[in-house]
């Protein structure tokens, strides 16, 4: 049977509804969970996040959110489970790590490829740990990430094997390929757009995954439209992988939402015309809640307001339709493709 592995258990893949392939219910940079000023009022946080999720489900038909928050970035399994229980939204948690420059705590940097694989498989098949405590909640996909960080964006230096990928990231990516192959789950990735200045980071990530035997059809390469990198995307699409259009309505490293949306929409139309409609997924990359947003973290990227879930249907989809994108295309991009890629055969 084909299932989505949500925090509340496996559900038939056909129950996915519209899927958002890269979001964050609760988010704080590594260390935020140690900050008394960021301490959560759990019930208030649950109300705040569940309110947004419930509105998205009831008003727009979103059925599944992939929470791409890695363990060292405040991943909170109980919180995801409570949001899911409260709203009926399927929530898929991930295992994996942030880029080495921002994440992968020292403890994990010391571990071998085999040990990292064992960690990922445990999260996916047995249950995730939160602050020393084992939870019954399982992850349903893996995140890998490469690149620098946002304070002083710059291209990544050359690492092992001549790629612009750090040594530990390389090991994490290899471990992820083994774990995903063992479990049959998807890998969704984060790249830093600055790396397009020196290489095609999508291809570099995919090459390492393929070297370890990963099925490219279960790989989503993220942030490829920020701004759109058509040639880089064509390269990995030809290798059998999928790409993700994210940051809908959220300007990241570019002028404005209007500017980015227009560029992304035009690029999407080109890829659809070239026949890649079965290999694209779409998401916001919103942060439903960041406890320090606007306080110590005043980067507009981090603000809770960002863009509302309604934006997909009030602004983005009308923009796409104006360019000739059909309901059939949208059904593939928002339902069929993510459902197929994130499903696990059990
Ligand atoms: Zn993200």
Distance CA 329, CA 39 (A): 43
CA of 287 to the centre of ligand 1 (A): 8
User: What CATH number does residue 308 fall under?
Assistant: 3.20.20.140
What is the arithmetic mean of pLDDT over 154-169? 90
Q: Is 184 exposed, middle or buried (0-12, 13-18, 19+ CB in 10 A)?
A: middle
With a cut of 90, say whether residue 103 has pLDDT above it: yes
Query: Cβ contacts of residue 277 below 8 Å, gap of 6+?
Result: 271, 329, 332, 333
CA of 21 to the centre of ligand 1 (A): 10
CA of 160 to the centre of ligand 1 (A): 25
Contact 231, 195 (CB under 8 A): no
The DSSP bridge partners found for residue 280 are: 243
Q: Tell me whether strands 90-96 and 141-145 are parallel, antiparallel or unpaired.
A: parallel
- pLDDT band of residue 296 (cuts 50, 70, 90) is low
CA of 283 to the centre of ligand 1 (A): 10
Instruction: For residue 47, give the H/E element and its range.
Output: helix 42-60
Contact 288, 53 (CB under 8 A): yes
pLDDT at 224: 95
Contact 127, 135 (CB under 8 A): yes
Going by C-alpha positions, the residue among 267, 244, 246, 272 that lies closest to residue 257 is 246
Higher pLDDT, 96 or 301: 96
Taking only the tens place, the pLDDT of each residue in 244-284 is 999 999 988 777 889 999 999 999 999 999 999 999 999 99
DSSP character string of 50-73: HHHHHHHHHHH-EEEEEE---GGG
CA of 98 to the centre of ligand 1 (A): 10
- pLDDT band of residue 305 (cuts 50, 70, 90) is low
What is the arithmetic mean of pLDDT over 100-106? 93
pLDDT at 61: 94
The three-state secondary structure class of 145 is strand
Taking only the tens place, the pLDDT of each residue in 38-83 is 899 999 999 999 999 999 999 999 999 999 999 999 999 999 999 9
Domain hosting 317: range is 2-345
CA of 107 to the centre of ligand 1 (A): 23
Distance CA 131, CA 129 (A): 7
Taking only the tens place, the pLDDT of each residue in 199-250 is 999 999 999 999 999 999 999 999 999 999 999 999 999 999 999 999 999 9
CA of 182 to the centre of ligand 1 (A): 25
For the chain, the domain total comes to: 1
């Amino acid at each position: 049977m084909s299932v989505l592995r949500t925090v509340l258990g496996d559900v038939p893949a056909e129950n996915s509804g519209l899927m958002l392939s890269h979001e964050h219910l609760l988010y704080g940079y590594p260390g935020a969970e140690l900050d008394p000023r960021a301490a959560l009022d759990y019930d208030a946080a649950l109300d705040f996040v569940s309110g947004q999720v419930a509105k998205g489900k009831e008003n727009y038909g979103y059925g599944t959110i992939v929470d791409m928050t890695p363990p060292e970035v405040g991943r909170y399994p109980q919180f995801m489970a409570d949001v899911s229980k409260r709203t009926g939204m399927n929530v898929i948690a991930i295992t994996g790590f942030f880029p080495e420059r921002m994440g992968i705590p020292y403890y994990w940097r010391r571990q071998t490829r085999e040990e990292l694989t064992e960690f990922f498989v445990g999260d996916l098949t047995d249950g995730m740990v939160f602050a020393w405590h084992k939870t019954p909640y399982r992850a349903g996909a893996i995140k890998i990430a490469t690149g620098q960080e946002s304070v002083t964006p710059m291209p990544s230096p050359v690492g092992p094997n001549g790629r612009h990928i750090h040594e530990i990231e390389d090991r994490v990516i290899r471990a992820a390929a083994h774990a995903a192959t063992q479990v049959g789950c998807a890998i969704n990735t984060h790249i830093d757009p600055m790396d397009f200045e020196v290489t095609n980071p999508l291809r570099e990530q995919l090459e390492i995954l393929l070297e370890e035997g990963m099925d490219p059809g279960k790989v989503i390469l993220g942030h490829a439209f920020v701004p759109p990198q058509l040639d880089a995307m064509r390269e990995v699409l030809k290798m059998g992988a999928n790409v993700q259009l994210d940051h809908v309505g959220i300007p990241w490293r570019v002028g404005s939402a209007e500017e980015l949306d227009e560029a992304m929409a035009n690029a999407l139309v080109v890829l659809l015309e070239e026949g890649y409609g079965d290999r694209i997924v779409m998401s916001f990359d919103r942060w439903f809640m960041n406890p320090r947003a606007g306080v110590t973290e005043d980067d507009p990227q981090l603000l809770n307001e960002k863009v509302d879930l309604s934006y997909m249907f009030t602004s983005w989809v009308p923009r796409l339709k104006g360019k000739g994108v059909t309901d059939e295309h949208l059904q593939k991009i928002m339902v069929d493709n993510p459902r197929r890629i994130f499903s696990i055969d059990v």
